[in-house]
Structure 1
């Protein structure tokens, strides 16, 4: 009689229980870190884009007509992506106080909802 070697049902259930226990410890820590990373990237994209808009104003004396103009004139390599919406066309563009000076004086996120600090993304 030949005995086949393999795992018993009990051994498989013990392993699955250990894996489930490890997942219950790891998964709750994973998702908040993803949200924290997205918010950090959003803050950095806003800071960099605002600095580029100010640099454009300092160089030309007027604000850009669109974000695409910043890319065309090589102030940006590409349009920044809003990490919350995962799109580059969801930005809210704010005009300057004097409309004759251009169209984009500031930029805000177009993402719905609030950040971890309770402040809406549209107010960042």
Structure 2
């Protein structure tokens, strides 16, 4: 499986893009890939290991952090912490605000489409 050695999932494909969408899980990855976003990768959780962090910082790019909008706020807090760390390394980073209680997968399952997700990316804040 690509990324099974502790790296970001399908990083070789995603890193070729100037903008990368980072999600938490494989279902989030799969639904975005299916919707046409080939610049997506996943970390298999909100806490990136050292290798995953280095991968995101291995060149100039914009990273869109699209973590789950958990009811307890954990996904949003993790996104803010990661955003700060990436920014300190000179990476342009944007935090995607998903509707409350949703992750990218449930956003599409509940009727969202690629155009609507693109609008969320465009509205993402530093």
Shorter chain as denominator, the TM-score bin is under 0.3
| Structure with higher strand content | 2
Higher RCO structure (Cα 8 Å, ≥6 apart): 2
Report which of the two structures shows the higher radius of gyration computed on alpha carbons.
1
Query: Please, what TM-score do these two structures have when normalized by structure 2?
Result: 0.24
